[in-house]
Amino acid sequence: MKLVYTFSIYLLLSFKGFSQYTETINSNRPGSSQGAFAVGKNVLQFEIGAKTGKFTHGYLDDSTINEFQFNYAIRYGVFKNKLEVILQGKYNKNKTENKFNSIVPNESFLNKQTLGFKYLVFDPFKNKKWHSVSLLSWNKNNKIQLTDFIPALSIYAGVNYTPKRGYQYDDPFSFLKIYGNEKSDINPKISLITQNHFIGKWVLVNNITFDRIGDEKSIFNYIFTLIHNFKNPKWSSFVEIEMIKNNIYADNYYKFGAAYLLNKNFQFDTSLGSNIKNSPKSMYFKIGMSTRLDWYRDEVPIDKEKLNKEIEEKRKLKNETKDF
């Protein structure tokens, strides 16, 4: 049994060394971070979800926002499985409660939309020496190696469009309208993404992001996500810490959840999250799903040396034919 398991790992790692495409769907849900790897060339992926939450600020007239949000991401892989185009967005329907002004109209509005590009700069799985698998030692294949701490590395660059009404709700604690006037805005976003894999069961993802660059409420965002795959490969769980900071406030979010793989092209997920401050206080619940249209085809690597030899042989043959 151990030998079969070891051989399976060998096949998996050999496949990863050739390409970032995976046989099963590779989703960023249910967490908030992005993984370093793209979905694969000619793969069109949809990640959608619904979120319900409550934001309360006890120091400012006990204002509370009951939020319902639809969020989506559309991902498409291009260029040798290294580049991914991503369109993300949110749509909100909010109800405001205020003890000094009980008549507050419900609001429905388009929230922030972002078009971005993610590029895989470094893939450690392509180094066969670092990630070679022993067919004789099950024990060796199930221990953390020093090379496991060398992460896959990607960079992300995008452009945000935040409509006038969505500007106040783009971050969770600006809804009280104390940070400036409403306005629509366009600004850039950049991220550094790392991803590590440990003994086939654990995945560690880090995102360092500068968002709304150049805006008066520009944000520094750090997300730490730890994913665990269970013995039943259809189930996985995650814990996540998200740190948000700008020139007005700083806060931490703590999240956990689970995902279920229905088949290789469908995943369902659910999660909970909260900060630890009493004012402002934030809690939410999310559900969602991911699916893909998979048009990926293996690209056979070209042996340039062999190709050049064949071209040279054809030239010689052609010249010899001319002599006759």
Q: What is the pLDDT of residue 19?
A: 46
Q: Whole-angstrom Cα distance, residue 165 to residue 42?
A: 35
The neighbour count for residue 50, using CB atoms within 10 Å, is: 12
Segment 67-92 shows an average pLDDT of 93
Rounded to two decimals, what is the model's pTM? Answer: 0.78
Q: What is the pLDDT of residues 103-156, one digit of tens each?
A: 566 778 888 999 999 999 999 888 777 766 666 556 666 777 778 888 999 999
Range of the domain at 91: 2-323
Segment 222-241 shows an average pLDDT of 93
303: CATH? 2.40.160.40
Q: Whole-angstrom Cα distance, residue 261 to residue 188?
A: 34
Q: What is the pLDDT of residue 223?
A: 96
Q: What is the pLDDT of residue 171?
A: 57
Q: What percent of the chain has pLDDT over 90?
A: 42
Q: Whole-angstrom Cα distance, residue 291 to residue 268?
A: 9
Please tell me which of 2-6, 14-18, 42-46, 197-201 the model is most confident about, judged by mean pLDDT: 42-46
For every residue of 100-115, DSSP letters joined together read T------EEEEEEEEE
Total domain count, the chain: 1
pLDDT(5) > 80: no
Q: What is the pLDDT of residue 163?
A: 83
Higher pLDDT, 278 or 320: 278
